[in-house]
């Protein structure tokens, strides 16, 4: 009976070892599968990170270009304001000259009428 017991125990031990090996392999396969899934997810995140990094670089260049264009537009606006101010001063000056010329014309018309009238009177006296 001792031999049967030893054989039964040996068979049980072998069966337990077989079960342990099978369970160990399954656990290892699950861990490997989980590692692969995590690796794929990490790869996806890396790809997203690279995409966003590329977009950051693109937007940085765009922002710098726009900033440069804004500075140039600001300088052009300042030049245009200076020219506009010069043109306003010139227009004001020309308006003043026009007013003086109009006043002078009116004086000359008055003098011309007066002298024309005096010439008419002198001719009548002749």
Reported as a single tens digit per residue, the pLDDT across 77-117 is 999 999 999 999 999 999 999 999 999 999 999 999 999 89
* Tens-place pLDDT, residues 28-43: 999 999 999 999 999 9
Which tops the pLDDT comparison, 1 or 65?
Answer: 65
- Residue 126, helix vs strand vs coil: coil
pLDDT, mean of residues 52-58? 96
5 pLDDT band (50/70/90 cuts)?
confident
pLDDT of residue 100: 96
pLDDT of residue 109: 94
CA distance 96 to 88: 12
pLDDT, mean of residues 58-66? 97
Indicate if the pLDDT at residue 122 is higher than 90. Answer: no
CA distance 49 to 56: 10
Indicate if the pLDDT at residue 1 is higher than 90. Answer: no
**CA distances in angstroms from 2 to 13, 16, 17, 77, listed in the order given:** 16, 21, 22, 108
Question: What's the predicted TM-score (pTM) here?
Answer: 0.50
Torsion of CA 30, 36, 42, 45, to 10 degrees: -110
What is the CA angle 101-102-108, rounded to 5?
85
CA distance 108 to 100: 12
């Amino acid at each position: 009976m001792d031999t049967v017991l030893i054989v039964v125990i040996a068979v049980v031990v072998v069966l337990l070892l077989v079960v342990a090996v099978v369970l160990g392999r399954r656990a290892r396969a699950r861990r490997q599968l989980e590692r692969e899934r995590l690796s794929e997810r990490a790869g996806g995140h890396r790809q997203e990170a690279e995409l966003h990094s590329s977009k950051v670089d693109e937007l940085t260049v765009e922002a710098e270009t726009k900033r440069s264009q804004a500075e140039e537009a600001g300088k052009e606006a300042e030049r245009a304001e200076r020219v506009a101010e010069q043109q306003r001063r010139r227009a004001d000056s020309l308006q003043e000259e026009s007013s003086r010329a109009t006043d002078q014309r009116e004086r000359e018309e008055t003098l011309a009428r007066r002298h024309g009238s005096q010439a008419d009177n002198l001719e009548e006296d002749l």
